[in-house]
A and B are shown apart, each in its own frame.
Chain A
Amino acid sequence: MTTAIRVRGLTKSYGDLRAVDGVSFDVVEGEVLAILGPNGAGKTTTVEILEGHRTRDGGDVSVLGTDPGRGGRPFRDRIGIVLQAAGVDRELSTREALELYGAAYSTPRSIDELIELVELTDKADDRIVSLSGGQRRRVDLALGLIGNPELIFLDEPTTGFDPRARRRSWDVISNLTSLGRTIVLTTHYLDEAEYLADRVAVMAKGRIVADGTPAELRRSVQSDTKIAFDLPRLDEPLVELFDPLIGQGRGRGHRVEFLTPAPTADLAHVTSWAMQRGIELDGLTVESADLEDVYLSLVGEDEDSEDSGRADG
């Protein structure tokens, strides 16, 4: 298989913030890679560097055999970009915008087919300004595909969608993958990554913390067990509870949840800690972890507290 994208040791800082901190990965032709992570993880910066929209501070990047920083027009003729925040001349209709932007590509797709693909046939001649948010996002998608690209970048393609609109966009994107296109998408929805991607790279704080197929990620966590319980009081020093644990503990209010590869030892520690203090652990559960649990433990809970940057499926 041919490598479409090769990234080694990529770094990018904004002032003191290391937005991308030594990222390496490959994408082979025809593969769909999802870069999954909370807001601020560095996903968009990474993708913008691959697109040639942003310069990098360090590392090697090759996209379709080209350095995207100096790809120029021939490079952009081969890629399609659906940015998170890119406007379009909204007084034009979808058809007019596709005609206008399509003219710059060497092998544009058929406009009628594309309008059908993104399910805007009824709205093709309406001004873009009159379309709903989800419909406009599909106009974005169509504009990203008009050049018949070998490689497509989708930056958070369904953020802000209602569940039905998301499902529809997923179907459209799935159709693309069946055409053998290489796709790199960023998302902070776990279910989206699982549904669309062949491979998922989990990103947090500028680093890739896990990389594999959804099944591999699932297997890696199936060996883990989730232990959860409520603490009736919060006046005890929790250091003695959390420090000796083999698994990663985290608490939210009275609720404590953690994943552990050694459930017997950790459970014994937790129960003896509680018994020594005469504490009853309400709602104590021991169950096998799911993908969402491992995702949350990988990216760290504090990352996404300010908004709903978490899979909620």
Chain B
Amino acid sequence: MDNSLGASRVSLVVRHIRAQNRIFWRVPIGAFFALFLPVMMLVLFVALFGSDTYTTEYGEVSRAQFYTPALAVFAVASATFTNLAINLSIRRDEGILRRVRGTPLPPWIYLAGVIGSAVYMALLGTVAVVTLGVVAYGVNIELTKLPAMLVALVLGATAFATWGVALAALTRTAAAAPAVANAVILPLAFVSNVFVSFEGEAPAWLLLVGDTFPLRHFVISFGEAMSPFSEAPAFLPERLGVLVAWTVVGALVALRKFRWEPAVGASSARGRRGNSR
């Protein structure tokens, strides 16, 4: 291969992840939704519902024990799925992806930078929520189940990052991306044990919807690994399998549908310049 050109691929990927991280911190809105909002929700939900208990798939637990893994997963979904869908379609509409294709930088390296940064932010969000839960609310965390937490986290983040790219590929313009992403993730969160748990009480079709999509499997896999009742190593292979299956489908959609060029008429005012003088 043509490795003689410029820096090595690995160092270019690292460089682009760091650049995207820098951009992330300079745009407060992404940081708010991916990092601050889940932490704030954990504080609010625990304050509102106090020391009630919840019946979950993994037993009778405190509110904090229920919400900590759920909101950690929600942070991951925001940082990967929502942010990638929005950021990639903005970068396409603004012609950044187009510019990249005119340089010797392999376009996948630019994508890897954006995706890598999103995954990094997802990890930060998880650490923030879990740390708060453990330190402030005495949420259970066990060393022997840490591998199960990590595996659920990696597979879940991969699935949602893949679908973030896929959604950007399916969305025509950046203007539509935030609405579409939120219209997908918010209703899904309600049937996926993120905000409420409804084991047994919910209509069967709602459970079916929840079980069809990956979010609920992600929440339960991660929650099982943090549950005080589960047995180490606390892996849930079937649910993890669903995450992998969704990743495969998302990757196929992304590979087939991803566009580098802005849709006709999608370029912003900053793109095609007017002739005003």
Interface residue ranges, A against B (CB under 8 Å): 51-53, 72-74, 76-77, 79, 81, 83-92, 96, 100-101, 103-106, 108, 127, 133, 136, 143, 147, 159-162, 307-309
Contact = CB atoms under 8 A, between A and B. Distances in A.
A104 B104 contact: yes
B94 A87 contact: yes
B102 A81 contact: yes
Contacts of B256: none
B4 to A, nearest CB: 6
Given A73-B2, A89-B19, A91-B22, A101 B275 contact: no
A133 B95 contact: no
Given A76-B103, A79-B102, A160-B273, 9 more contacts: A72-B2, A84-B273, A86-B98, A90-B94, A92-B22, A96-B22, A104-B12, A105-B6, A160-B274
A193 B101 CA distance: 27
Contact of B19 (A81, A96, A136): A96
Contact of A147 (B7, B16, B104): B104
B2 A91 contact: no
B62 interface: no
A87 B27 contact: no
B267 A85 contact: yes
Interface residues of B, number: 39
Nearest to B1: A73
Interface of B: 2, 4-7, 11-12, 15-16, 19-20, 22-23, 26-27, 91, 94-96, 98-99, 101-106, 109, 262, 267-268, 270-277
Nearest to B7: A103
A76 B104 contact: yes
A162 B16 CA distance: 35
B101 A73 contact: no
A136 B96 CA distance: 14
7 contacts: A74-B104, A77-B6, A77-B104, A84-B273, A85-B98, A100-B15, A147-B103
A92 B19 contact: yes
A160 B273 CA distance: 6
Given A86-B98, A91-B27, A100-B15, A74 B277 contact: no
Contacts of A81: 99, 102-103
Contacts of B101: 53
B96 A106 contact: no
Nearest to A158: B273
B6 A104 contact: yes
Contacts of A84: 272-273
A51 B102 CA distance: 7
B95 A73 contact: no
Interface of B is mostly: loop
A150 to B, nearest CB: 13
Contact of B5 (A73, A89, A161, A309): A73
B99 A143 contact: yes
Contact of B96 (A77, A86, A104, A127): A86
Nearest to B5: A106
Contacts of B2: 72-74
Nearest to B20: A89
B5 A91 contact: no
A100 B102 contact: no
A103 B16 CA distance: 10
Contact of A73 (B94, B104, B272): B104
A103 B272 contact: no
B26 A104 contact: no
Given A92-B23, A106-B4, A159 B275 contact: yes
B125 to A, nearest CB: 20
Residue with the highest number of chain A CB atoms closer than 10 Å, among B4, B11, B16, B105: B105
B106 to A, nearest CB: 7
Contacts of B270: 87, 136
Contacts of B26: 91, 127
A142 B98 CA distance: 17
Given A91-B26, A104-B105, A147-B104, A53 B98 contact: yes
A105 B273 CA distance: 28
A25 to B, nearest CB: 21
A164 to B, nearest CB: 12
A307 B275 contact: yes
Given A85-B95, A127-B26, A159 B102 contact: no
Nearest to B93: A87
Contacts of B98: 53, 83, 85-87
B217 to A, nearest CB: 34
B13 to A, nearest CB: 11
B103 A101 contact: yes
Contacts of B271: 85, 87
B104 A88 contact: no
Most chain-A Cβ atoms within 10 A of its Cβ — which of B6, B262, B271, B274? B6
A51 B96 CA distance: 16
A103 B276 contact: no
A74 B95 contact: no
A47 B12 CA distance: 29
Nearest to B262: A85
A101 B101 CA distance: 12
A313 to B, nearest CB: 12
Contact of B273 (A79, A92, A127, A133): A133
A303 to B, nearest CB: 15
B99 A86 contact: yes
A161 B20 CA distance: 30
